[in-house]
Amino acid sequence: MRAYILLLFILFAGCDNFFEPEPANDPQAIFDNLWQEFSALYGPFEERNVDWDALRSKYRPMVSSSTSEEELYTILTSMLAELDDGHVRLTTPGKEIYHSNRVFREKTDDELFNEALIKDNYLDEGYVDKSSYLYGTIQRDVIYLRLKAIDDQALILDKVLDQFSDSKGLIIDLRHGRGGDFTWAFDAFSRLTNEKRLVFSSKTRNGPDRNDFTHWYDWYLEPEGKFFDKPIFVLTDRYTLSASERAAMALKVLPKATLVGDTTSGGHSTVIGRELQNSWYYSISTQKTRFMDGKSYEGIGVIPEVPLRNSRANMAAGTDDVLQYAVINITR
Amino acid sequence: MECERGFQLKRHRRARCFKMVLIAVGFLVFTNHSRAQSVEEGIGLKLGAHSVSFQDMQLSPNIQKDFSIKTFAVNYKRRKSHRVSEVEFGSTWYSLNSDNSYTYVRDGISRETFISSSTLVNLRYSTAWNLRKSAFHAGLMIDNQIRANEQAYGWTTAFNYFAAFSMGPVLYYTKAVSERCDLSLKSWIPVFAWVTRSPYALNDDDYMRNNMNHKGVETFANYVADGSLKILNRFQKFNAEARFDYSLSRRFDVLISYELEMLRYTPGRNFISYQNFVNLGAEYKF
């Protein structure tokens, strides 16, 4: 009995030594932690032509024990900017989230997409607007579905196709699509294909060595339900990211689908979060991906068949050129 | 394609193994309870507080801590001459208050960072035999633990899981402190466990495939099937419980209990956890 209580006491008293030591909360240790975690988890170094060791040699000497928090922020964000990756972000107290990707950071051409303009000038009365989608008809003949994010709400497509079964075609708008879980899109698009089609393959980091990856995993679009055998136009822009890009890839493999707009962001991996010892948070892309043609478009983006950008002048006049192109080609 | 098929076959084999273990556990429980003679049986409910410190290197190098009063357990106990058996189901919900919450800005709007939260579920079955009419019972503990965690990373969160289905020796010590008061101590150490855990990079292709059916039970079965058998060199767990029962009447006891648990899992990035439970409860005997 006494031995038992003594054992409990020893275990209780010794619990602090039970854990691995937490990394020191100083500028050098914070830099080392962030650099090391990218080394151990980041997937597309090669695809983005980034020499991570060279970046350490470039930035690590700038950090010392006397580096201020603001200076450390500048050094870390400068290093992350070299990845130019839409998935890589740094969250810090009181500041705007830092985007490694220049387009997201500088909000380049952000205003070339405007949902309000579509509602006001294109959609017929009775459109439905939810957190992850917007749908309705244009000129009564064209189905318009905007997927703002890819989640379970994407399954609305099945209902939309039934509701507007007399339509001439379908527009799926993925512009400014902020990603999500791409598997919902693959489920939702099952009525758009009449055969099983390879979309992309991916492999994920599974160890600290830069070559530690799982095997390649093939992702297919598989048919289910009543086939929608009409023209499909898919709209994309530089802000179409992640799962929204994978959705664009899935639609790109369909013979009846045409991608129109700007090339997507080029962040095709999945993403995970991490935290630093000073409570700054960051995110890392952990995968390599290749499209069904065997090529990687990481850092490049999904390239539309019809490259087209909205013009500020036409938008000011109430015209969305990209959407207009799709509508004309479906209704002509 | 071949690779994928091989993977599926492996998964089916693992799922079959898991089903066999479940059947074996069910058989043990059934055989234990089907031979009723003169027995003492009781059901109990415990409510209380829980503190946890854990460090999952897959999620963060930081030690994360919380104290929660959202914990409960229900149990069924059966004592028959020299044998005592127990089934207990417990659950705890906690947020990780060690997370530093702060305001950041997204698209020009100030927002608060998220806080991590976890759910812990325990399902245990033990049966033990008296050692030579002493105060000690020794036997077997089947201890199943599932942790589901929503790890916060500022503006986003990531789901991850850790589950261990373990088996090992259990030792009871029971002593009557007074006419109405009993002290019982219990400890157990699993010698092997079927352990499943989020992948190294959390949401890899296997994980996404496991989730693709978007059905809770099926997804969980997929996670379990992806687990592997671990022995003491990779999975170390120690539990100890001290409990005082005070008899209010022939059928009704009130109790206070304390339990500690230490867990260390070392394949891949370390998962280390230290937990304490303090509960008040009652037991009805029939």
Q: Is B78 exposed, middle or buried, given 0-12, 13-18 or 19+ CB atoms closer than 10 A?
A: middle
Q: What is the mean pLDDT of residues A314-321?
A: 97
What is the C-alpha to C-alpha distance for residues A67 and A183, in angstroms, rounded to an integer? Answer: 44
Interface of B with A in 37-76 (CB under 8 A): 53, 55, 57, 60-63
Contact: B274, A15; criterion CB under 8 Å: yes
What is the C-alpha to C-alpha distance for residues B52 and B59, in angstroms, rounded to an integer? Answer: 16
In one-letter notation, the amino acid at residue A236 is T
What is the C-alpha to C-alpha distance for residues B8 and B12, in angstroms, rounded to an integer? Answer: 6
Q: Which of B106, B154, B201 sits opposite A204 (nearest CB)?
A: B201
Residues contacting A320, CB < 8 A, separation 6+: A114, A117, A118, A121, A122, A310, A314
B-chain residues within 8 Å CB-CB of A12?
260
Residues B264, B238: contact at Cβ < 8 Å? no
What is the C-alpha to C-alpha distance for residues A228 and A257, in angstroms, rounded to an integer? Answer: 11
For residue B257, list its beta bridge partners.
B243, B279
> Can you give the pLDDT at residue B11?
47
Contact: B205, A96; criterion CB under 8 Å: no
In one-letter notation, the amino acid at residue B129 is W
List the strands of the sheet with A142-147, edge to edge: A128-129, A133-138, A142-147, A169-173, A232-236, A257-261, A306-307
A-chain residues within 8 Å CB-CB of B55?
19-20, 22
Token couple for A50: 């980034």
Place of tokens 């303090």: B278
What is the C-alpha to C-alpha distance for residues B26 and B173, in angstroms, rounded to an integer? Answer: 26
Contact: B208, A15; criterion CB under 8 Å: no
By percentage, how much of chain A surpasses pLDDT 70?
95
> Can you give the pLDDT at residue B165?
98
In one-letter notation, the amino acid at residue B185 is L
What is the C-alpha to C-alpha distance for residues A174 and A149, in angstroms, rounded to an integer? Answer: 8
Q: Closest by alpha carbon to A264, among A151, A176, A170, A134?
A: A176
Contact: A19, B57; criterion CB under 8 Å: no
What is the C-alpha to C-alpha distance for residues B220 and B215, in angstroms, rounded to an integer? Answer: 9
- Using a CB–CB cutoff of 8 Å, tell me whether B114 touches chain A: no
- Looking at residue A124, the DSSP 8-state letter turns out to be P
Q: Closest by alpha carbon to B235, among B204, B273, B186?
A: B273
Please count the other Cβ atoms lying within 10 Å of the Cβ belonging to residue B92. Answer: 23
Helix, strand, coil percent values for chain A (each to nearest 5):
35, 20, 45
Torsion of CA B149, B153, B155, B156, to 10 degrees: -40
- Provide the shortest C-alpha distance from residue A113 to chain B (in Å): 16
Helix axes A52-59, A69-81, angle to 10 degrees: 150
A-chain residues within 8 Å CB-CB of B152?
273
Average pLDDT value over all residues in chain A: 95
Residues B88, B74: contact at Cβ < 8 Å? yes
Contact: A273, B274; criterion CB under 8 Å: no
What is the C-alpha to C-alpha distance for residues B260 and B275, in angstroms, rounded to an integer? Answer: 6
Residue ranges, chain B, pLDDT below 70 = 1-38, 97-99
DSSP string, A216-233: -EEEEE---SS---S-EE
Token couple for A282: 């960051």
Q: Which of A15, A22, A287 sits opposite B62 (nearest CB)?
A: A22
Q: Is A270 left (phi over 0), alpha (psi -120 to 50) or beta?
A: beta
Q: Which of A8, A93, A279 sits opposite B103 (nearest CB)?
A: A93
Query: How many CB pairs below 8 A link A and B?
Result: 147
Count of alpha carbons within 13 angstroms of residue A150, beta-carbon side: 28
This model of the complex carries an ipTM of 0.89
> Can you give the pLDDT at residue B226?
94
Q: Per-residue pLDDT for A128 more than 80?
A: yes
In one-letter notation, the amino acid at residue B55 is Q
pLDDT tens for each residue of A257-295: 999 999 999 999 999 999 999 999 999 999 999 999 999
**What are the DSSP E strand ranges found in B81-221?**
83-95, 103-106, 109-112, 117-130, 136-153, 156-176, 181-188, 192-197
Contact: A93, B102; criterion CB under 8 Å: yes
Contact: A22, B200; criterion CB under 8 Å: no
Residues B96, B118: contact at Cβ < 8 Å? yes
> Can you give the pLDDT at residue B2?
33
pTM: 0.88
- Provide the shortest C-alpha distance from residue A95 to chain B (in Å): 5
- Of the pLDDT bands very low, low, confident and very high (cuts 50, 70, 90), residue A16 is low
pLDDT tens for each residue of A72-111: 999 999 999 999 999 999 999 999 999 999 999 999 999 9
Cα angle A206, A210, A216; round to 5: 50
- Using a CB–CB cutoff of 8 Å, tell me whether B103 touches chain A: yes
> Can you give the pLDDT at residue A152?
96
Contact: A183, B113; criterion CB under 8 Å: no
Residues contacting A286, CB < 8 A, separation 6+: A41, A42, A43, A204, A205, A269, A270, A271, A272, B201, B202, B203, B204
Q: Closest by alpha carbon to A35, among A322, A215, A282?
A: A282
Cα angle A22, A24, A28; round to 5: 140
- Using a CB–CB cutoff of 8 Å, tell me whether B218 touches chain A: no
Q: Which of B153, B200, B272 sits opposite A205 (nearest CB)?
A: B200
Contact: A217, B4; criterion CB under 8 Å: yes
